[in-house]
Amino acid sequence: MTVETKPVAAVVTRISGPIVTASGMRDAQMYEMVQVGDAGLAGEVVRLQGDRATIQVYEDTTMMKPGAPIRRTGAPLSVWLGPGLVGNIYDGIQRPLPGIRARSGAWIRRGEKVDALDTSKRWLFHPRVKAGDTVSAGAVLGAVDETALVEHLIMIPPGVAGVVRSVAAEGEYTLLDSIAELDTPDGPRKLTLLQKWPVRQARPIRERIRITEPLITGQRIIDTFFPLGKGGTAAIPGGFGTGKTVTQHQLAKWSDADLIVYIGCGERGNEMTEVLREFPELKDPRSGRPLMERTILIANTSNMPVAAREVSIYTGITLAEYYRDQGRNVAVFADSTSRWAEALRELSARLEEMPAEEGFPATLPTRLAQFYERGGAVTTLSGERGSISIVGAVSPPGGDFSEPVTQHTRRFIRCFWALDSELANARHYPSIHWLRSYSEYVEDIAEWWGKRAADWGELRTEALKVLQREERLQQIVKLVGPDVLPDSQRLILFLAEILKNGFLTQSAFDEKDMYCSPERQMAILRMILTLYRRGSDLIQAGAPLVKLQQLPCIQQIVRAKSSFGNDELEAIGTLETEMNSELDALAKEYEGKGS
């Protein structure tokens, strides 16, 4: 992007990969953006000592030599905020990848500078204020139809207030055209469709508020058992091959957030390529429109410079805050924070800082907190309700949850979806382990669920108890086998298998099962637990378990998740009626024979 630069007054004195030391930087400021070398590589000041500065460079420094010039910009690393963000694909420092490809081909040239937003495109502006109105920070000046799904609100920037002197008439304007002029205490100020904001600085809010509704993801084990509130924070830890990326993709595709920011942070290029190919073709389940019309992608793969990987999550969260300030519910998916932490470790080593556990910098907990604390449900400066939900994937080596990134992440999140290697090896997806996972949002969103399914809490608790009892019984089974157990305990093993196969597993490739509405989730779970309760009564009445297992409805119950779509709740009700009829017939057969 285009920036104004100050005269050359500094030169490179030392180079260590992405870390460069420069002299002649006495007037520089921390986190100031600079341009390094003749190619003008983007860099950021991270340490100052006298007239020397340490700079982390966001591009490849190969072939750079001491004595290369450094030009200061006098401004921190900032992102462009305005119409055109949605549907775009950026690298870690907000360079648009489609624009770079159009200019330089498939490979990003060093020092390539492309504006983050198209300043020549004209947007239809609809004013919402008039001359003489008193406005303050966050107030809406007007709106632009950014996509069919996103109405982009043009807001007064933070720290600005005054009286509207003039406002542009409805019409088409570029990002740099003046659309309003304010009389402020500091004098007249012209406003455009474009704002800029430092990525390392959180955008201001009026207050934080209580989380009251869940982020509906369409994934049964998450929505029903371990829900995430809108404005909440969650982590998905798991070893290689447990399905972190696929789970993140599912959440990004089907969650009911108004806007999605997906950050591919240090993951393999083929995984990010899959995202870039899939998302433009996917349809939003609520509107039927292309999913990219409410999505922003940030791609910073493992072969890109580590310094850009480090800043990519701040770029993503700043874009999310901008849309949150418009009163929207935004979901941020970072895949993965472990690769981001590895970038911190490499940069820390090159800065010659004292390492902490496993070589990570001592500031790792602070940096994780700074990221996750930028989520939350808030009242914006304009008085609207907005939220940012953050889901970070964690890739602990060998699936060891005791390693530093996982442990520190658990301190700052309230929802933990633990992926299990054994479940993944058994092709049980999503491989979220129901006994190692937890959510602290259950009480917060209970009222929301209660209005839609009054028995949600009871069903959830009962199902988890069945799974807990099954886990304990499995230890006995491993020692002596299932045949020594009474039918009442074998029923628990049987029903737990139905729960796992008929409810907890969910195919990301099944058109009917990839997204499950809350109503269908409850219908299926209610049917399975009715079978459990009535089965327990039958066994008490003397019926053998094998009779229950041979009922014709059993296989239909297991297949219900893929047999019936979200609009076929009546068919699920019909199946439950058939199940009850078969159970009634079995009950008559053993009536009066119980112990």
Q: Are residues 361 and 401 in the same domain?
A: yes
Residue 583 makes CB contacts below 8 A (sequence gap 6+) with: 531, 534, 535, 538, 551
* Predicted local confidence at residue 4, as pLDDT: 54
The total of other beta-carbon atoms located within 10 Å of residue 359's CB is: 12
Q: Which residues does the chain have with pLDDT short of 70? A: 1-8, 592-595
- Segments forming the whole domain that contains residue 188: 118-193
Taking the CA atoms of residue 244, residue 235, residue 298 and residue 246 in that order, the dihedral angle to the nearest 10 degrees is: 20
Exposed/middle/buried for residue 121 (C-beta within 10 Å: 0-12, 13-18, 19+): exposed
For 331, the token pair is 């979901």
> Are 356 and 232 in the same domain?
yes
406 and 485 together in one domain = no
Q: Is 97 among the domain residues? A: no
Strand 295-300 and strand 89-90: the pairing is parallel
**Burial class of residue 483 (count of CB atoms within 10 Å of its CB; 0-12, 13-18, 19+):** exposed
Distances in Å between the Cα of 140 and the Cα atoms of 294, 295, 487 are 20, 22, 66
Same domain, 211 and 255: yes
Clarify whether residues 286 and 403 are in a common domain: yes
Q: Do 436 and 374 share a structural domain?
A: yes
Residue 594 phi, psi (nearest 5):
-70, 165
Nearest to 233 by CA among 367, 393, 392: 392
d(CA 156, CA 325): 11
Phi, psi of 473 (to 5 degrees): -65, -30
How far apart are the C-alpha atoms of 154 and 172, rounded to whole Å? 14
- Total residue count of the chain as it appears in this document: 595
How many C-beta atoms lie closer than 10 Å to residue 508's C-beta?
17
Q: How does pLDDT run across 252-306, given as a tens digit for each residue? A: 889 999 999 999 888 777 777 777 777 777 777 777 888 889 999 998 887 788 8
432 close to 258: Cβ distance less than 8 angstroms: no
The predicted structure's pLDDT at residue 81 = 97
- Which pLDDT score, from 0 to 100, does residue 452 have? 93
| Residue 219 belongs to some domain of the structure | yes
Distance CA 174, CA 587 (A): 74
Q: What is the DSSP string of 361-390?
A: BTTHHHHHHHHHTT-EEEE-TTS-EEEEEE
Inside any domain, residue 5: no
Can you give the pLDDT at residue 592? Answer: 63
Instruction: Verify that 139 and 212 share a domain, yes or no.
Output: no
In contact, 257 and 263? CB cutoff 8 Å: no
Question: Is the same domain home to 498 and 545?
Answer: yes
